Structure 1
Amino acid sequence: MKVLLVFVLISLAALASARKPFAARYDNFKVYRAFVEDNEQLVEFKKIHHHLQVHILHEIGGPNRSYDVIVGPLFQRAFEQVLHDLQVQYDIIVEDLQALLDESSVDEDAPMDWETYHPLDVIYDWVDEQCDQHVYLECQVIGHSYEGRPIKSVKLSKREGNKAIVIEGNIHAMEWISSATVTYILNQLINSEDEEMQRLSEEFDWIVMPMVNPDGFVYTHDVERLWRKNRRPNGYSNSSGPCYGIDMNRNFDYHWSGAGWGIEDPCDHWFGGDEPNSEREILALQEFVNSFEDGYIRAYLAFHAYGQYVLLPYGHTNTEFPPNYDQMMRIAAAFADAAEDAFGSVFTYGASGLLNYVVSGAAKDWAYGVKNIPFTCTVELRDKGTFGFFLPSNQITEVGVEVTEGLKSLVAKAVDEGIFD
């Protein structure tokens, strides 16, 4: 295949002012979905990353799958020509990215709800209010981010002797639906009059970290909506200047750096760091989890976007599986069935290295492989790609409802399977 590798340099630079940075805009930027059919196309598609800065929204795994790419208006014709030369089929799934982003309303002054996306201060204020109002909540700052923001946790415990479930949110900055869903679940556990949710809050302890990446999250609100990593300068630079950030879900010390596309490129979205456990946010999370006695935490759920998956260990391989993989599959199936009953959202479940792509250093694998927590997973929330990372805020409540229904069934099945024994 003769390939013309003339590609696009997508400028994602944000304007800055003395007071507060202006958010980057994406007027008339399109999102392309390119289907890479075979290994020959995949080889050439991967070369794009080595020669040009393009905003590819997915890690490049194997062939026979689609990848979403953002392209600015000045370069769309050239981009389409390259795909034509590669014989890569594509669709335009978003005609105007800024118009889509505008559908995800953010109200900086509104009190906490699940009808809009909120900035960090509103989320944290709500967490603090809940902690002040309920004696069964133990709230603490488990550490601070690189830029000095607190990383907060909430432990809900109404009865001695309970086993615990950990819920983690927004380790990836751009995945706003993650912290929105985690806080929705927490609100249901605290304030819902639903009998099943009340029972779950009585019979289990819940340890919730709604915002693992506060620096990156603030950056997505103030500067760059597409930011994924944390904001620590990582010591490298490219033609655009210094490079920032580590993908913290590639930084856990369990088969770290063994697999994954882009994890060794310091200026890419998926850079896993020069060494494992290099990020203070990850160390704070691990030290917090390590502070509990062995055997107390029986499930660890990390919430991400997007694709509607329940991803189980392992991520670093697609040929090896955990000893209790069949058991975890039954528990994941219970979640998927109940979540689908709510609004028809179909969740696929299985080992992440098998279903998604092979990648190392994720939280769920560390929780399973190092902490020996018998059920761990990454829940990839809505949707399957129509909106992707930019899910409109009018879907937040529906996502919360379907995930809560899935969680009820997940816990019930885990009990049946002896996870909490």
Structure 2
Amino acid sequence: MRLLWLLATLVALTSAGILKDAPKERYDNFRVYKLTIQNQFQLSVIEKLAELTKKYNIWKEFDEHTKQLDIMVSPEELSRFQNLLMFNNISSELMIENVQERIDEEQVTATADSGTFGWTKYYELEEIEAWLDEVLATYPAVTEEFIVGKSYEGRTIRGIKISYKTGNPGIFIESNIHAREWITSASATWFINQLLTSKEAEVRNLAESYDWHIVPVFNVDGFEHSHKKDRMWRKTRQPHATNACIGADANRNFDSHWLENNGASNNPCSETFAGDTPGSEPEAKALVEYLTKIKDQFSVYISFHSYGQYLLSPYGHTKEEFPENYDDILTIGKAFADAIEGLPYGTVYQYGSTADVLYVATGTSVDWVFNELDKKIGYTIEYRDKGRYGFILPPVQIIPNCEELMVGMLALIEKTKELGYL
């Protein structure tokens, strides 16, 4: 009798929608502001605000050069937020009036991609993995799959190695460590396709002269969640033992100056939560183990991110010190930025160390590879744009962004080789 009552209750609750999957997070009338911060007190006010409630979300952390920070604000907090800005004398510029409108526009699918995988829309994890399977089946002589490891939710973190001949120096690319940065996996899959199909002499030389190890979607759990549940999700999906907030910033979870100099947060609700310990996230731990195993197979490490248009190099933990080969790192960075600016789009990239050009960031994958595996060349690429669209870059900009990536990579690798690192 009790069992029947329980079953009836479950049916009633399901009918009422209470036990169904939670609906997709919506951002109707959420706004994004670019703030100009003049002192440490103002910065602390804004950062604390974003850590205390989900009604605020920092999109772009404080840039020490421009003195700017981008933040998303919920409509119910708007009046309070504007009063807070006025009270603390913080100037602001409205960048996005309605985040949900941007998300809806982004979801419009192109008919050109209805039958085949292309680059005029953003794809979900399942679609990217199906495409990867197709690529591996189509080019068995020059491609092979590699497995980095498993995510917290049990998904496989997959990569593809492209190798045209033995003895090539290697380049490792990790993409989409931050879930909401969809342009990164779009760019990674496009780049893979170019290495395999392009007829251009420069691209063929790039493809065939190096071994390419590429992980199109690293944060598989977060990426899936950003598509299915919450477009603005950034972190991993591992629950915290003592806090209701879920996930950590996988790109602050590596054991390289971990949680030093305010380069990450120890608050589980922060977007830059470093985890309770280095390698607490299964994804970061798996990457450390995998890269350690193949450390003799690559010389250059690159991490794809968005947004802001930067090419960032070590160090992230301090702007008081620079790597011994920093002049060479800057020379390579200049070649990358100049090549991109030379395209008709005229897109400008800044380059230099993470801490010096942008902000202190500790426990990052690039710094870990640089410091712990003793690699001399490592970069974080922060793709388009400067904040007009932010993370929700329109699909029409995928191809232009990818074209910039290719000319940038051609210049970066050529200069790296010229300076004797490859």
Q: Map 1:77-156 onto structure 2 (within 5 A).
A: 77-105=79-107, 107=109, 111-134=116-139, 135-156=141-162
Question: Which residue matches 1:178?
Answer: 184
Are the aligned partners of 1:235 and 1:243 in contact in 2 as well (CA < 8 Å)? no
Using the size of structure 2 for normalisation, the TM-score is: 0.90
| Separation in 1, partners of 2:77, 2:397 | 32
- In structure 1, the partner of 2:381 is 379
Aligned-pair identity (%): 38
| Alignment map for 1:254-273 (pairs within 5 Å) | 254-260=256-262, 263-273=265-275
1:206 to 191, 198, 212: 212
- The separation in 1 between residues aligned to 2:413 and 2:50, in whole angstroms, is 42
1:33-86 Cα distance to aligned partner (Å, 9 max, x none)? 211122343344344346544222233465861222222223312211111111
For 2:306, the equivalent position in structure 1 comes to 305
Q: Counterpart amino acid of 2:232?
A: L
Does structure 2 conserve the Cα–Cα contact (< 8 Å) formed by 1:316 and 1:360?
A: yes
Distance (Å, rounded) in 1 between the aligned partners of 2:192 and 2:18? 37
Q: How many residues align?
A: 400
Whole-Å Cα distance in 2 between the matches of residues 124 and 256 of structure 1? 32
Q: Which residue of the partner structure matches residue 289 of structure 1?
A: 291
Note the C-alpha offset of 1:369: 0.6
Q: Say if 2:222 and 2:234, in contact at 8 Å, map to a contact too.
A: yes
- Greater Cα shift, 350-359 or 26-35: 26-35
1:193 is displaced (CA, Å) by 1.4
RMSD of aligned C-alpha atoms?
1.9
1:248 to 226, 247, 250: 250
Amino acid of the residue matched to residue 132 of structure 1? A
Question: Is this contact kept in 2: 1:185–1:400, CA < 8 A?
Answer: yes
CA contact (8 A) 1:299 1:375 kept: yes
Q: Compared with structure 1, are the counterparts of its residues 201 and 178 closer, same or farther at alpha carbon in structure 2 (3 Å cutoff)?
A: same
Question: Aligned pair in 2 of structure 1 residues 187, 76: CA closer, same or farther (>3 Å)?
Answer: same
What is the CA–CA distance in structure 2 between the aligned matches of 1:298 and 1:175, rounded to whole Å?
A: 25
Higher helix share: 2
Output one character per residue of 1:311-354: Cα deviation in whole Å (capped at 9) or x when no partner.
00000001110111110111111111111122211000000011
Q: SS at the partner of 1:244?
A: coil
Distance change in 2, residues 1:48/1:297 (3 Å): same
Aligned to 1:337: 338
Q: Is 1:219 matched with 2:225?
A: yes
Give the gaps of 5 or more residues in structure 1: 1-15
CA shift, 1:261, in A, is 5.4
Relative to structure 1, the CA distance from residue 20 to residue 55 in structure 2 (aligned partners, 3 Å threshold; closer, same or farther) is same
SS at match of 2:82: helix
Native 8 Å contact 2:174 2:214 kept in 1: yes
CA–CA distance in structure 2, aligned partners of residues 407 and 70 of structure 1: 32
Would the alpha carbon gap of residues 73 and 419 (structure 1) be closer, same or farther in structure 2, given more than 3 Å must change? Answer: same
Contact 1:311 1:351 in 2 (8 A): yes
TM-score of the pair, normalised by structure 1: 0.91
Q: Partner residue of 1:195?
A: 201
Q: Distance in 2 between matches of 1:152 and 1:403?
A: 22
Q: Which moved more, 1:263-272 or 1:37-46?
A: 37-46
Residue 76 of structure 1, aligned match among 70, 75, 78: 78
The alpha-carbon deviation at position 20 of structure 1 amounts to 4.7
| Distance (whole Å) between structure 2 residues aligned to residue 160 and residue 72 of structure 1 | 54
1:30-49 correspondence runs (5 A):
30-49=31-50
CA distance in 1, matches of 2:127, 2:114: 8
Q: Secondary structure at the match of 1:277?
A: coil
Indicate conservation of the 8 Å contact 1:21/1:222, yes or no: no
C-alpha separation in 2, matches of 1:98 and 1:303: 25
